[in-house]
Chains A and B, each alone.
Chain A
Amino acid sequence: AQSVSQHNHHVILSEAASLELGCNYSYGGTVNLFWYVQYPGQHLQLLLKYFSGDPLVKGIKGFEAEFIKSKFSFNLRKPSVQWSDTAEYFCAVNDPAGNTPLVFGKGTRLSVIA
């Protein structure tokens, strides 16, 4: 069965600091990878996705993620965070065959302070 580990439960950064959130998954086959964000009081929104091709994926709001197959990782990065990036971030994986359900990590809460 697939599982997703997000190593950081809560990350606190100052504005303009760089961000990297870790995500590792356990699954031997081909996977689709996703990062979702949940801003306070809002619904889950897709930040970026990886289906195939270039392992460096660019998403919305300046976020990017790199798929490293050998490490089973899909870490999220942003060069300079803003206060508005304060949110909960979820890494998720599914099997491309048949649009299987998403398996989510427990999430990382990001707090950006001025």
Chain B
Amino acid sequence: DAGVTQSPTHLIKTRGQQVTLRCSPKSGHDTVSWYQQALGQGPQFIFQYYEEEERQRGNFPDRFSGHQFPNYSSELNVNALLLGDSALYLCASTRRQGLHEQYFGPGTRLTVT
């Protein structure tokens, strides 16, 4: 049973560019959340997708957007990259109904130069 997978593993972009990160949830999970983990900090919630809609959003600007597909996989898009967007981006999946923990993927390390 595959866990949460993310691609790519690492990415280097230049300021002002756009980036797309991808996530496949654990089998049986229907809810995907994205978190940003800056160096030396705990993960911070970006947004959550369920039934292909953004359900909850953290304190992140509109440059951060996402999508969920019918197979529950998800994308995180960041436009107009800033140096401060350099971080580890984590995807977590869970089941919407009931009490369940979130399972995290290995993350995508984004470096903005």
Where the two chains meet, the residues of A that have a C-beta atom closer than 8 Å to any C-beta of B are: 4, 32, 34, 36, 42-46, 49, 51, 90, 92, 96, 98-107
In Å, the complex CA distance between A98 and B97 comes to 7
In Å, the complex CA distance between A98 and B96 comes to 7
| Inter-chain contact total with CB atoms closer than 8 Å | 53
Name B85-106 residues within 8 Å CB distance of A: 90, 92, 94-96, 99-106
Q: A34-B101, A44-B90, A46-B101 are in contact. Are A100 and B56 (CB under 8 A)?
A: yes
Q: Assess the B45–A103 pair: CB atoms within 8 A.
A: yes
Q: How large is the interface on B (under 10, 10 to 19, 20 to 34, 35 or more residues)?
A: 20 to 34
Where the two chains meet, the residues of B that have a C-beta atom closer than 8 Å to any C-beta of A are: 31, 33, 35, 40-45, 48, 56, 58, 90, 92, 94-96, 99-107
A-B contact pairs, 8 of them (CB 8 A): A42-B106, A96-B99, A99-B31, A99-B99, A102-B43, A103-B45, A104-B35, A106-B42
